[in-house]
Amino acid sequence: MPKGSTKKVAFISSFNPRKCGIATFTSDLIDAIKSTAKARFKPLVVAMKTDTTNQYSEPVKFEIRQDVKNDYICAADYLNFSHVDLVCVQHEFGLFGGNAGSYLNLLLSRLNAPVITTLHTVLDEPTPDYYQSTVDVCNASHKVITMNTHGITMLRDIYGINEEKIKLIPHGIPDLPFVDSNYYKHKFNMDGRKTILTFGLLSKNKGIEVMLKAMPQIVKSDPTVLYVILGMTHPLVLKHDGESYRFSLQRLVKELDLNDHVIFYDHFVQDKELDNFLCAADVYVTPYLHREQLTSGTLSYAVGTGRAVISTPYWAAEELLSDGRGVIVPFNDHKEIAKQVINILKDESLFYSLRRSAYEYGRNRTWPKIGHAYWKSFNDKALPVKMSDKTVDTSHQLDIPEPSLDYVKKFTDDTGMFQHAKFTIPNRWFGYTTDDNARAVIAMLQYYDQYSDPEALRLCDIYLAFLMYAQDSDGNIRNVMDYDKRWIENEAIHDALGRTLWAFGALMAHPPTPEYLSIIKDFFDRSIALVQKQYPRAMAYVILGMSDYLKKFPGASDIKRHMTSCADLLLNMYQQNKSDDWLWFEDELTYDNAVLPQALFIASQDLSEKYYQAAKEACDFLVEKTYEEDHFSFVGCNGWYPKGGKKAKWDQQPIEAVGTVLMLNTAYEVTKDRRYLALQRKAFDWFLGDNDLKVSLYDFRSKGCYDGLTQNGVNLNQGAESLLSFLMAQLTIIASYTASQPSSMKPAIDADFSKKNVKPDNVSIREISSDPAKDIVEQPE
């Protein structure tokens, strides 16, 4: 780097004020590099967030919501446009969304700047997802930093990473003096006590209960002993289990009569307070339960401040405490812990020998030296100054409204989703339909997949309860319920059974918790025998549901038989009705046309290729008939489109737009032809004004959707079908956009995958023309 020039480095990590060890590590690392590089270092942070209440300040410049795929792509574009010189990733699987944190690779694959990644965890028995995610991150990085020599061995031998790419830089520690603990004990009113300390975010794998079981024997030997458990419960543990672990520890303290010898400090401590606690401790203990921990900031700090340390033999401890720098005890052995603590407290020579060895070893790991090592790596001449630009095509940016549940909640009561509206006011006169509540289940599952919002699951349960109540004991599904919660008798013909099984299948493929699965399977199975009696579109919906069912139970022979029967009926309809100028299932294009080719596309994937030709022909025919010039003009319900007749132009319905989005998404998944993606976006843009009247059906104020496109403008009512059509299309666009982003660093798992100590899991692009519809229609087979 030229003398006097600055290096702009972006850190992708959690960051303060998030209560997280890696957030603290990154903050300390940035401060340490600043002390070395001075004005030549210009850091910025892309902060990983799960808590919307966190308010970030400098140097945070961008925030990524952990489970929102599109945020990762936007972050990459932001960094590219910010002209950063280097990206430094602090990698821990749990920080990033997707299976095994795989969403991070959406970001890394788009970056222009070189990447240096610090791996805080490396697994020795990864499942395929974790193996591939680790390989992808390493392949996207120019250098990989590990904090432990064992990490080098695992990366080389298990993951096949070239050792020249790996660099060892230990965890940093504060540069504190070698002090007498008695001075600091006074700050906490612990004068005259022998002190034992464990600190860090509490979770069950910390093994605190093992240390507590050792305490009675230790207290018997020295009644002055005080054990300090410092730290709040881990935020993720709090979210899922509350304070159950802490309460179990407190109960154990009472059972063992240790109230005078154990103190819980239940808060997240800042560096200065932590330094004081460390200096006040005589013995530091990490009684962790599992060996698979490559780094430990808490143990590093204890060693660096010259504490007498006792630990179980997890990977980080084996390296830090070797050569007499600490005492290793077996896992889950409270008797051995008690024995070693007593020995240290009684043997002053041993006590000071352990302290001196640890402190001297830590002098090479202080933050100033770690900061210097990172700064040297950032300026390695082997790093490219800048990678070749990955050009961002701004014409295909995902510039769509942010999905919202506001109008969904307004349109929902404790029974389900209302059917119709007067403008934006729910019209209770028309009550509820099973059709709408089935759509709502699917939409909430899509929303939860993108945002992990518990509110979506709360709403999903309401709609699911409606579907369950709609099913009779013989499997039939009722559709319309009035506001007084009475089912309407003598209903008109409907597709509720098909949509209900579609929703049940979606829930089986992606159950929020395992408990849903057995319940919903029973409901699905109760209705499946009735599918042969359904009309074509209901059969198509059922095919979608059965496809999801088979994702969870691929060996379900009866489901395969029913799916084959439905697909064969649709295929026979198509073959008997098609002609040279009318490649369709019926003599008329009516409502929700796109679900028919979509179902055959899915059948071609799940069952047999014999359905593919009909699916593609019908899909392309429908596009040809509904794509005019540069936008979609769907079949209006005021006259439909009979064979040999004229297409009705008005009363176009949102259900046609979402159906087309879903069909084209499936077409892309089957064919990998990116022109279908361009058309999919065009179909969605119908909602936003790319239609015959050039008016938006999406209401940016209410976040609802108008009910249709009429000759005189939009239908100003905003009912459930239009709302859910927009939301499902919107979420499908987001999911397909992120899934379809090209990634140059995702190699296939090699043939020797099974030999690499990997634990199995239990459970050519063409340019898009200005007229993508024409491309499809005219493309030779």
Structure-token pair, residue 9: 């480095």
Amino acid found at 668: Y
**pLDDT value at residue 472:** 94
- Cβ-contact 411, 420 below 8 angstroms: no
Cα 403 from chain centre: 16
As to burial, measured by CB atoms within 10 angstroms (0-12 exposed, 13-18 middle, 19+ buried), residue 623 is buried
Strands 418-422 and 425-433: antiparallel
Q: What is the pLDDT of residues 585-617, one digit of tens each?
A: 999 999 999 999 999 999 999 999 999 999 999
- Length of the chain counted residue by residue: 781
**pLDDT value at residue 781:** 34
- Cβ-contact 298, 320 below 8 angstroms: no
The crossing angle, in degrees rounded to 10, of helices 21-37 and 297-304 is 50
Q: What is the pLDDT of residues 327-353, one digit of tens each?
A: 999 999 999 999 999 999 999 999 999
Q: What is the pLDDT of residues 411-462, one digit of tens each?
A: 999 999 999 888 888 889 999 999 999 999 999 999 998 888 889 999 999 9
Can you list the pairs that 748-752 forms with residues at least 24 positions away whose Cβ atoms lie under 8 Å?
Answer: 749/128, 749/131, 749/132, 750/160
Q: Which of 2-11, 31-40, 79-88, 692-701 shows the lowest mean pLDDT across its residues?
A: 2-11
Q: What is the pLDDT of residues 625-669, one digit of tens each?
A: 999 988 999 999 989 999 999 999 999 999 999 999 999 999 999
Q: What does DSSP assign to residue 487? A: B
Our CA angle for 225, 227, 233, nearest 5°, is 175
Helix (H) or strand (E) holding 167: strand 166-168
* pLDDT more than 90, % of the chain: 62
Dihedral (CA of 210, 215, 217, 222) sign:
positive
**pLDDT value at residue 237:** 77
**pLDDT value at residue 422:** 85
Query: What is the mean pLDDT of the segment spanning 314-321?
Result: 90
Residues 6+ apart with CB under 8 A from 523: 467, 468, 471, 504
Alpha-carbon radius of gyration of the chain? 31
Q: Scanning the structure block, which residue is given the tokens 């961002």?
A: 392
Helix (H) or strand (E) holding 598: helix 595-606
- Cβ-contact 282, 351 below 8 angstroms: yes
Q: What is the mean pLDDT of the chain?
A: 87
What three-state secondary structure class fits 406? helix
Structure-token pair, residue 194: 């022998």
Q: How confident is the model at residue 387 (pLDDT cuts 50, 70, 90)?
A: low
Residues 6+ apart with CB under 8 A from 44: 8, 9, 10, 11, 59, 60, 61, 62, 82, 84
Query: What is the mean pLDDT of the segment spanning 384-392?
Result: 54
Q: How confident is the model at residue 392 (pLDDT cuts 50, 70, 90)?
A: very low
Check residues 176 and 563 and name the one with the higher pLDDT: 563
**pLDDT value at residue 214:** 96
Q: What is the pLDDT of residues 453-481, one digit of tens each?
A: 889 999 999 999 999 999 999 999 999 99
Q: What is the pLDDT of residues 712-741, one digit of tens each?
A: 878 878 889 999 999 999 999 988 876 665
Q: How confident is the model at residue 251 (pLDDT cuts 50, 70, 90)?
A: very high
Q: Which string of DSSP letters, residue by residue, matches 83-146?
A: T-SEEEEEE-GGGS-SGGGTTHHHHHTT-SS-EEEEES---SS--HHHHHHHHHHHHH-SEEEE
**pLDDT value at residue 707:** 86
Q: Scanning the structure block, which residue is given the tokens 């905003």?
A: 718
Q: Which residues pair with 284 in a beta bridge?
A: 197, 309
Residues 6+ apart with CB under 8 A from 709: 636, 650, 651, 652, 691, 692, 693, 695, 697, 715
Query: Across 98-112, 284-298, 393-407, 616-630, which has the greatest mean pLDDT?
Result: 616-630
Structure-token pair, residue 422: 């007067």
Helix (H) or strand (E) holding 378: helix 367-378
**pLDDT value at residue 657:** 95
Residue in 195, 189, 721 with CA at minimum distance from that of residue 495: 721
Residues 6+ apart with CB under 8 A from 35: 367, 368, 371
Q: Which of 17-26, 252-261, 272-281, 534-543 shows the lowest mean pLDDT across its residues?
A: 272-281
Q: What is the pLDDT of residues 184-210, one digit of tens each?
A: 888 888 888 999 999 888 888 899 999
Could you tell me the CA-to-CA distances from 104 to 13, 19, 140, 688 in Å, in that order?
A: 11, 21, 10, 30
Whether the pLDDT of residue 769 is over 80: the answer is no
Residue in 393, 349, 324 with CA at minimum distance from that of residue 737: 393
Q: How confident is the model at residue 3 (pLDDT cuts 50, 70, 90)?
A: low
Residue in 366, 323, 36 with CA at minimum distance from that of residue 169: 366
Q: What is the pLDDT of residues 110-121, one digit of tens each?
A: 999 999 999 999
Query: What is the mean pLDDT of the segment spanning 696-725?
Result: 86
**pLDDT value at residue 452:** 81
Structure-token pair, residue 516: 């849903």
Query: What is the mean pLDDT of the segment spanning 348-368?
Result: 91
Q: How confident is the model at residue 69 (pLDDT cuts 50, 70, 90)?
A: confident
Q: Scanning the structure block, which residue is given the tokens 């788009």?
A: 110
- The rounded distance, in Å, linking the Cα atoms of 520 and 427 is 30
- Cβ-contact 298, 199 below 8 angstroms: yes
